[in-house]
Chains A and B, each alone.
Chain A
Amino acid sequence: MAYSEKVIDHYNNPRNVGTLNKDSKFVGTGLVGAPECGDVMRLQIEVGADNVITDAKFKTFGCGSAIASSSLATEWLKGKTIDEALTIDNMDIVEELALPPVKIHCSVLAEDAIKSAINDYRVKNGLDAIVLEKSHH
């Protein structure tokens, strides 16, 4: 199977690889997937004033599409408010990276990671976790 140019670009030059301090109250961490399934994504956001995401980092265990999906997600998150970040849909990632049908689950995982990071941040700051619609996988 051939990968799209954008997947290859993110894979070869992943954006925002790294780790934020998960104990900071400004940082939300999402860890999704499972080693048994061959994909684990950890996505972190740092939230500043006015609920704006000032930094985002990821690390991913998975195939090229999983790595590219999470790399792209961190790129999109930076500068967005939390409410804007919640509107990121996995199909936006599928479209941007031209993922084939067998790789759609990678984008779903990235969307889950974003929401899970936001919820972690919310709970840390005394807000209720947002009830997520069960994603389709």
Chain B
Amino acid sequence: MKQPIYLDNNATTPLDPRVLEAMLPYFTEKFGNAASRNHAFGWVAEEGVDYAREQVAKLIGCTEKEIIFTSGATEADNLGIKGVFEMYKEKGNHIITAVTEHKAVLDTCKHLEKNGARVTYLGVKEDGLIDLAELEAAMTEETILVSIMYGNNEIGVIQPVKEIAAIAHKFGALFMTDATQAVGKIPVNVIADGIDLMAFTAHKMYGPKGVGALYVRRKNPRVKVTSQMDGGGHERGMRSGTLNVPGIVGLGKACELCRLEMESETIRLSALRDKLESTLSKMEESYVNGNTQHRLPHVANISFKYVEGEGLMMAMSDLAVSSGSACTSASLEPSYVLKSLGLSDDLAHSSIRYGLGRFTTEEEIDQAIAVTQKAVNHLRELSPLWEMFKEGIDLSKIEWAEH
């Protein structure tokens, strides 16, 4: 079977062969436990981990001691938010986040609400960015944490992180960011950005699945989190559990490659993304979702009105993309991120996310354009809504039988 063209790099990225090569020895001859202090096997493993820690730190502008390795960004989000809530609950119980966050943040906050936290979920403007004045107005004496994502996974918009951090700090709160989609793609510097805690993962930047990290600031201020996993006291007591040495080595190598290639990759990917987006948005009744100025270089989210996203993906079986349509879910609810931009449900159902990556070629983008155009046109021929639109019927005036 011919492999489809992979344009779902926001879901996960393929492992870079150079990362795999760095990892392989740690599965075989360098198999030691990094916590074994008394023999060479342990030392070699620890050396690998230490080197990876440096590689990670260098990418985000922190020191090695500020990196806590986890199983991925979801765990890092849990550790950061729950850990701060438990550590600072004497100071206050208020957390501020946004409705467009990943479920790893939203559901963690919901969990804390059951344990006495008060959570404010900020809405977003129609370009997907939060309103800074609204954030400032929501801050209280009780606010201990502001957690706002760096780049959005569905539409790619980049929040004004520096400004958000400044507001949080003005009120004495910590600022955490889920930077899963941003780290390795755009320059992220925890000092310049004023970040106190940051979650990210290897498999969105050409590293392996199952490994990520939480950055926890050690100076100005020194941030502490209560561990969520008890055991041998690994990672300075914040995350017990034998270190995933090959994974960590892979994360380190992935970070190094991203740091070295980021500048040229950003130029290449944004040119390809712009080509895809400008061609497809020229089609009749197609709309680009989210702010187009402040966003990641490799994501395009486009709604093709009068065509349903899942049906469209089926017509584009040569492409691996994703849709804001949730036709497969029992709830029939389309993407909550797109809906929070104020998009009507039908446009949310009609959306396709293209996520480009390191291995995407211009030829693939040309094919993706052609496949999309053909599929959209084909499905519009089948669409009663398209026919009605063409006849000048106002669809909003029809009484639809909700089902």
The residues of A with any CB-CB pair to B shorter than 8 Å are 1, 3, 11, 14, 17, 19, 31-42, 59-64, 66-67, 102, 105, 108-109, 112, 137
Q: Name which of B69-77, B277-285, B343-351 contacts chain A.
A: B343-351
CB of A35 within 8 A of CB of B345, answer: yes
Contacts of B315 in A (CB 8 A): 11
* A40 and B382 contacting across the interface, CB-CB below 8 Å: no
Q: Please tell me if the beta carbons of A60 and B384 are within 8 angstroms of each other in the complex.
A: yes
Q: How many cross-chain pairs have Cβ atoms below 8 Å apart between A and B?
A: 99
Q: By the criterion CB–CB under 8 Å, are A36 and B403 in contact?
A: no
Asked whether, in the complex, the Cβ of B307 is within 8 Å of the Cβ of A33, the reply is no
Check if A39 sits within 8 Å of B308, measured CB to CB. yes
**Interface members, chain B 319-356 (any A CB < 8 Å):** 325-330, 332, 334, 344-346, 349
Q: Can you list 16 A-B contacts (CB < 8 A)?
A: A3-B314, A32-B401, A33-B400, A36-B345, A39-B403, A41-B384, A59-B382, A61-B307, A61-B311, A62-B311, A63-B310, A63-B325, A64-B311, A66-B311, A102-B328, A105-B332
B288 within 8 A of partner (CB):
no
Find out whether the CB atom of A19 lies under 8 angstroms from the CB atom of B310. Answer: no
- With contacts A36-B402, A38-B334, A102-B328 taken as known, whether A59 is within 8 angstroms of B349 at the C-beta atoms is no
Smallest Cβ-Cβ distance to A34: which chain B residue: B400
Which residues of chain B are within 8 angstroms of A40 by Cβ–Cβ distance? 383-385, 400
For A64, the chain B residues whose CB sits under 8 A away are 310-311, 314
* Chain B residues close to A by CB (< 8 Å): 306-311, 314-315, 325-330, 332, 334, 344-346, 349, 381-387, 395, 398, 400-403
Q: Is the CB of B344 within 8 A of A61?
A: no
- Measured CA separation A15–B392 after assembly (Å): 26
Additional pairs, 16, CB under 8 Å, beyond known A32-B401, A32-B403, A61-B382: A11-B314, A34-B400, A34-B401, A34-B402, A35-B345, A36-B345, A36-B349, A38-B325, A39-B308, A40-B383, A40-B400, A61-B383, A61-B385, A64-B310, A105-B403, A112-B403
Cβ–Cβ < 8 Å partners of B346 in chain A: 35-36, 38
Q: Is the CB of B311 within 8 A of A137?
A: no
